[in-house]
Amino acid sequence: MDSIIEDVQIRKILDSRGNPTVEVDVITWNGFGRAAAPSGASTGSREVVSFPEGGVDAILSEAEDIIYSELIGMDAEDIVTIDEILREVDGTENLSAIGGNTTVAVSMAVAKAAASSYNLPLYKYLGGNFVNELPFPLGNMMNGGAHAGINAPDIQEFLVVPVGANNVVEAVFANSSVHKRLKELIQTKDSNFTGGKGDEGGWVPNITNDAALEIQAQACEEVGDELGIEIRPSLDMASSELWDADEGKYVYAQDGIKRDTGDQIEFVKDIIETYNMFYVEDPFDESDFDGFAQLTAKVGDKCLICGDDLFVTNKEILAKGIEMNAANAIIIKPNQIGSLSETYATVKLAKENNVVPVVSHRSGETTDATIAHLAVGLGSPMIKTGAIGGERIAKLNELIRIEEELPNAHMASF
């Protein structure tokens, strides 16, 4: 009885880009859960729809009424049924009637309310008492593409992973040190650099992709040596944004270069080998399973090749990727699929098939820290959540608190 839902409230709040999103409160007899939904800029075409036409305002009062009447009296522990009801209420395949952001915020708030009803943090409620592994933070250092302005590099995210860190505190401060060092290194390449940042808090320099790759590697090495831990460079290429379907080419505007799929395979392989990349996300367009599979066959033994727009946290699409050996990692963004139970199912399938799940933020975020709990509770060895900035540190600082709470905490293994 502790977790029977007594009230549900939905409100419009700001996200980090200044756009509206939803925050949901779920109140049970003995607990309370609050969750907010983030928003993407480089969204996959097979993601569920965030909000219906008319945006947040269009669903606010209506959704609250409908969801309220469906969920009051239900047990918050019955998350699977609640997620099914939300899908029924919406009635569309891609959640375009009330929006995947609405359903995911309700779903996560319900889970947090269930956990709170038993006085448990969400990570422990989801993962159980034996959970003790913490994810490595994949920190965002420089931004380009859809997360930055004109004249930025074409590659969307220059990331780093402090793979040698012994704990979360060491890891997050290693990332912030690399971020600081990169500012100095950018100034040596771009004398007009203003210190401008992109959507996820990474610097936005006016330099070529090659120059950015070079200083990224240099910053990893220098800071890694100073701290005495290995820090490896990584990328999110967000290649669907570069792909020109009519031309059949990836367009690198900053460099004035176009690459067909064969060139792209060689280009990415070369980057991985030259810079000893730990992780490369979306190296090909979201429809190119074959390109992914070719690259994974070539370099999958030394680098994580991750599908984001490729898989959109969707279990059926991941199943196709597994069959084709398209990737050895998958980005997990609950709002791509619209519910926590479907997110869980995708993570489960990934783990069963040795595909590394990487729980992730979106470029438009709130201070909601639920993904820190999901990464720990679902056993994701990496979390992609930026390196600095209020909405990014909300997750990182929550990981520090979780680490402190766990009796036998240690960093995850791959």
Query: Sign (positive/negative) of CA torsion 222, 225, 228, 233?
Result: positive
Q: Does 236 carry a binding-site annotation?
A: yes
By CB under 6 A, the residues from 336 to 375 that bind ligand 2PG are: 360-363
List the one residue out of 147, 175, 133 whose CA is nearest residue 376.
133
Residue 211, both tokens: 């120059």
Residue 104, both tokens: 């995911």
Respond yes or no: is residue 333 known to be catalytic.
yes
Query: Judged by CB, which is closer to ligand 2PG: 42, or 370?
Result: 42
As measured in angstroms, the least distance from the Cβ of 333 to ligand 2PG is 7
Query: Judged by CB, which is closer to ligand 2PG: 15, or 25?
Result: 15
Q: Does 360 carry a binding-site annotation?
A: yes
Our finding on whether 379 is near ligand 2PG (CB under 6 A) is no
From 285, 308, 342, 368, residue interacting with ligand 2PG (rule: CB under 6 A) = 308
- Angle, helices 340-352/315-323, rounded to nearest 10 degrees: 10
Determine which one of 23, 200, 365, 398 is catalytic.
200
For residue 86, how many C-alpha atoms fall within 13 Å in the half-sphere facing its CB?
A: 30
C-alpha angle with apex 170: 165 to 171, nearest 5 degrees?
A: 60
List the one residue out of 414, 408, 400, 407 whose CA is nearest residue 171.
400
Our finding on whether 283 is near ligand 2PG (CB under 6 A) is no
From 31, 33, 40, 135, residue interacting with ligand 2PG (rule: CB under 6 A) = 40
Q: Does 362 carry a binding-site annotation?
A: yes
From 16, 43, 216, 366, residue interacting with ligand 2PG (rule: CB under 6 A) = 43
Residue 342, both tokens: 């479907």
Q: What spatial distance separates the first Cα and last Cα of the chain, rounded to whole Å?
A: 40
Respond yes or no: is residue 200 known to be catalytic.
yes
Q: Does 373 carry a binding-site annotation?
A: no
Span of 125-133, 173-181, 302-310, 344-352 interacting with Mg ion by CB under 5 A:
302-310
As measured in angstroms, the least distance from the Cβ of 336 to ligand 2PG is 8
Query: Judged by CB, which is closer to Mg ion: 308, or 391?
Result: 308
Residues 6+ apart with CB under 8 A from 355: 318, 321, 322, 327, 328, 329, 330, 349
As measured in angstroms, the least distance from the Cβ of 9 to ligand 2PG is 26
* Interface map 222-251 toward Mg ion (x if CB under 5 A): --------------x---------------
* Interface map 161-200 toward ligand 2PG (x if CB under 6 A): ---------------------------------------x
- Binding site membership: which residues? 147, 156-157, 236, 281, 308, 333, 360-363, 384
Catalytic residues: 200, 333
Binding footprint of Mg ion on the chain (CB under 5 A):
236, 281, 308
Positions touching ligand 2PG (CB under 6 A) are: 40-43, 157, 200, 236, 238, 308, 331, 360-363
Annotated binding site for substrate: 147, 157, 281, 308, 360-363, 384
